[in-house]
């Protein structure tokens, strides 16, 4: 596997804007320079396969996914208890990460995820915490769900303070988002990655 030059690790609550910023960042790279790695993708794929569900629907921000989220989280925690890196390794493979110098991990949710990347790629990691007020998240379609929003998949990184970058997307401020993207792109230039 080719060693990535830089790995952006995005963390944040549901409907905070992680995917939005990850997609914006991806759009600034010429192909085939960067890929988005969704740690939840192999979990959803395997869960859908084992439970006869629609994998494509589980990838969307749909009510279908919300119906299955709680049980899917429980199942994923059981798998992670046996091997914390199980879904990470599969996510990198699924996204063909070995072919790209830039990895954008759009949904880092657990301390074990952070530890895996920092241990295996100590010089390549750039962490980004994306936050938004509860009101902003509600306006984006979020509704508190017991057993989901108070589970490790949403709360395990809440106490981590040492983020390389931190952005509040509550107000949808394009200038703030653009400034963050600019800082992340500069980090790429610093390690020799071409950006647009």
Residue 158 CB burial class (10 angstroms; 0-12, 13-18, ≥19): exposed
Residues that constitute the known binding site for ATP: 13-19, 140, 171
Mean pLDDT of 122-145: 94
Q: Please name the CATH architecture into which domain 6-190 falls.
A: 3-Layer(aba) Sandwich (3.40)
pLDDT computed for residue 2 by the predictor:
65
- The two beta strands, 102-105 and 34-37, are parallel
pLDDT computed for residue 59 by the predictor:
81
Residues that constitute the known binding site: 13-19, 140, 171
pLDDT computed for residue 153 by the predictor:
76
Whether 1 has a pLDDT exceeding 70, the answer reads no
pLDDT computed for residue 92 by the predictor:
97
Res. 160 pLDDT band, cuts 50 70 90: very high
Q: What is the pLDDT of residues 84-133, one digit of tens each?
A: 999 999 999 999 999 999 999 999 999 999 999 999 999 999 999 999 99
C-alpha to C-alpha distances, 188 to 22, 25, 58, 98, 180, nearest whole angstrom? 14, 11, 32, 17, 13
Mean pLDDT of 46-67: 89
C-alpha to C-alpha distances, 65 to 16, 48, 113, 122, nearest whole angstrom? 17, 10, 22, 34
Query: pTM for this structure?
Result: 0.90
């Amino acid at each position: 596997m080719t060693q990535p030059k830089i790995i952006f690790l995005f963390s944040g609550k549901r409907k905070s804007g992680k995917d939005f910023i990850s997609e914006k960042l991806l759009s600034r790279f010429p192909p085939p320079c960067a890929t988005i790695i969704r740690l939840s993708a192999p979990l959803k794929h395997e869960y859908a396969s084992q439970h006869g569900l629609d994998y494509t629907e589980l990838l969307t921000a749909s009510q279908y996914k919300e119906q299955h989220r709680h049980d899917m989280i429980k199942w994923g925690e059981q798998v992670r208890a046996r091997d914390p890196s199980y879904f990470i390794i599969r996510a990198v493979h699924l996204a063909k990460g070995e072919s790209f110098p830039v990895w954008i991990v759009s949904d880092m949710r657990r301390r074990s995820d952070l530890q895996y990347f920092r241990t295996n790629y100590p010089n390549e990691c750039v962490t980004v915490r994306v936050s938004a007020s509860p009101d902003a998240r509600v306006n984006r379609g979020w509704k508190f769900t017991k057993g989901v929003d108070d589970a490790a998949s949403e709360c395990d990184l809440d106490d981590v303070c040492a983020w390389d970058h931190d952005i509040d997307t509550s107000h949808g401020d394009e200038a703030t988002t653009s400034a963050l993207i600019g800082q992340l792109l500069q980090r790429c230039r610093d390690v020799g990655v071409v950006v647009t």
